[in-house]
Amino acid sequence: MHHASDHVKADFRSDTLTQPTDEMFKIMQQASRGDDVYGEDDCVRSLEAHVAKLAGHEAGLFCASGTMTNQLAFRASLLVPPASILCDSRSHVFRHEAGGLAAHSHLTVYPVKPVSNQGHHLTVQDLEQEFVDSEFVVDDGDVHMAPTRMISLENTLDGTVMPLQDVQAIAAFAREKGVLLHLDGARIWNAVVAQGCELAEYTRLFDSASLCLSKGIGAPIGSVLVGNKALIQKARHFRKMFGGGWRQAGGLAAAAEWCIEHVWPTMTQTHALAKDLAEGLEQELPGATVYTAVETNMVFLDVNGSGIQLSELSRHLKTKGIEIGNRAAPDSQTQVRLVLHWQITRAHVDEFLEVVQGLAAQAKRTGPQIKSDQPRKRVYGSR
Ligand SMILES: *Cc1c(COP(=O)(O)O)cnc(C)c1O
């Protein structure tokens, strides 16, 4: 049988593009076939219990997407307006969830710019500053205000890791101020591997955490929300209200379990490959920049000043079966996010670098390239 994506050998656009393997379909065939809305599917219940245990929480809820597990966490934790939430100004929950914070939970968002630490990650200093600047709204009975009830953190964010000790400091701050703490842990698995700690060391610091299984973990579909029993029960109720109750989801849960066991341990190699790709790119493409620290599975590349066009690179890679983020990009675009995952091998990275080498040699023959000094908006995006 032919599939639309069969010609793609290596897809660097996102770690969501991992494809279910024959082995996963075999596992799915053997999975339980109960109705999860009835709470009767064994594989779903077992995945929820397993992830909750790994994360050091009482209960878990397997859902269709990370957007859903984030949004359910807010809705189920906060219940009623008026309220506000603080989060990193770059965060997915604020920028990439279709305004869900306002729509589902009636929340006013105070996006906080990470300024300490060269903007690498949000720190307790950044939050304390918000407290001083009164973006952090104290619940003192002032009827004009929407009291801050929650802080949401994202880890990893653009592939960078929030160090455990900084998260610990924020957790202490949140407790002291009496606000809840949520983790958008779409890629917390990567952060754990990079930090070299246990998953629960991070996730236990939060009242709720959303963990995606369809990104670096490589599962076909799904995310798990973890928290205490009362929260998960509430979230289950709201999930039904949102139309997200699903029926025979056992196959998906079984595939996700397989991925936690088999794919997660390969993440160290994926991170090493990302570093090698970044180093290779800087070596083969003088003038280009890798503009964000490569700490996990993402490489942000700007080809400006290297003499090659991104559109050209992407066309040449495509002939080798390698996809990157912006095949259809206008020639003026120079930045791209490259995302590595378990289905990208050293051979793919070598092939990628060979294409780059060929183009760079060609560019060298056509003369030096002046770096454009036009100010650019950095391309990010945590989809
Ligand atoms: C992908 C992602 C999500 C959720 O995405 P879904 O596509 O809804 O599963 C949430 N947060 C971050 C940081 C993400 O990268």
Whether omega before 82 lies within 30 degrees of 0, making that bond cis, reads: yes
- For residue 78, the model assigns a pLDDT of 83
- For residue 293, the model assigns a pLDDT of 95
Ligand 1, residue 382: give the atom nearest the CA.
15
**Tens of pLDDT, residues 71-110:** 999 988 887 778 899 999 999 999 999 999 999 999 999 9
User: 50: Cβ–Cβ under 8 A, 6 or more apart, which residues?
Assistant: 60, 257, 260
Q: Does 147 have pLDDT greater than 60?
A: yes
- For residue 47, the model assigns a pLDDT of 98
Ligand 1, residue 70: give the atom nearest the CA.
10
Helices (H), 133-247: 164-177, 188-195, 199-203, 229-241
Ligand 1 pocket test target in 71, 160, 184, 337 with most atoms within 8 Å of CB:
184
CA of 210 to the centre of ligand 1 (A): 9
Cα–Cα dist 281/361, whole Å: 13
Cα–Cα dist 369/223, whole Å: 45
- For residue 370, the model assigns a pLDDT of 67
SS3 339: strand
What percentage of the chain exceeds 70 in pLDDT? Answer: 92
CA of 186 to the centre of ligand 1 (A): 6
Q: Does 92 sit in the ligand 1 pocket, CB within 6 Å?
A: yes
Q: Does 375 have pLDDT greater than 80?
A: no
Nearest to 100, CA basis, from 4, 210, 219? 210
Q: Does 95 sit in the ligand 1 pocket, CB within 6 Å?
A: no
Q: Does 158 sit in the ligand 1 pocket, CB within 6 Å?
A: no
Nearest to 281, CA basis, from 204, 366, 354, 208? 354
- Residue 297 vs residue 141, higher pLDDT: 297
- Nearest residue (by CA) to ligand 1, atom 10, is 66
Q: Does 71 sit in the ligand 1 pocket, CB within 6 Å?
A: no
| pLDDT range class, residue 180, cuts 50, 70, 90 | very high
| pLDDT range class, residue 281, cuts 50, 70, 90 | very high
Helices (H), the chain: 22-29, 42-54, 66-78, 92-95, 100-105, 124-132, 164-177, 188-195, 199-203, 229-241, 250-262, 267-284, 310-319, 346-365
Q: Does 218 sit in the ligand 1 pocket, CB within 6 Å?
A: no
- For residue 371, the model assigns a pLDDT of 72
CA of 380 to the centre of ligand 1 (A): 14
Q: Does 212 sit in the ligand 1 pocket, CB within 6 Å?
A: yes
Bridge partners of 341? Answer: none
Query: 285-289 long-range CB contacts below 8 Å, 24 or more apart?
Result: 285/356, 285/360, 286/360, 287/369, 287/371
Report the C-alpha dihedral over residues 76, 81, 87, 93, rounded to 10 degrees: 60
Q: Does 333 have pLDDT greater than 90?
A: no
Q: Does 315 have pLDDT greater than 80?
A: yes
CA of 171 to the centre of ligand 1 (A): 22
Q: What's the 3-state SS for 340-382?
A: CCCCCCHHHHHHHHHHHHHHHHHHHHCCCCCCCCCCCCCCCCC
The token pair that represents 81 in the structure block: 């307006």
Cα–Cα dist 253/28, whole Å: 8
Q: Does 310 sit in the ligand 1 pocket, CB within 6 Å?
A: no
Q: Does 284 have pLDDT greater than 90?
A: yes
- For residue 29, the model assigns a pLDDT of 95
- For residue 331, the model assigns a pLDDT of 60
Phi, psi of 61 (to 5 degrees): -140, 115
Average pLDDT, the chain: 91
Cα–Cα dist 214/16, whole Å: 6
| pLDDT range class, residue 17, cuts 50, 70, 90 | very high
User: 236: Cβ–Cβ under 8 A, 6 or more apart, which residues?
Assistant: 61
Q: Does 223 sit in the ligand 1 pocket, CB within 6 Å?
A: yes
Q: Does 351 have pLDDT greater than 90?
A: yes
Ligand 1, residue 91: give the atom nearest the CA.
13
Whether omega before 156 lies within 30 degrees of 0, making that bond cis, reads: yes
- For residue 326, the model assigns a pLDDT of 64
Ligand 1 pocket test target in 14, 90, 96, 211 with most atoms within 8 Å of CB:
96
Q: Does 98 sit in the ligand 1 pocket, CB within 6 Å?
A: no
Q: Does 329 have pLDDT greater than 90?
A: no
Tokens 């973890």 — which residue? Answer: 226
Report the C-alpha dihedral over residues 155, 20, 39, 241, rounded to 10 degrees: 60
CA of 234 to the centre of ligand 1 (A): 21
Q: Does 64 sit in the ligand 1 pocket, CB within 6 Å?
A: no
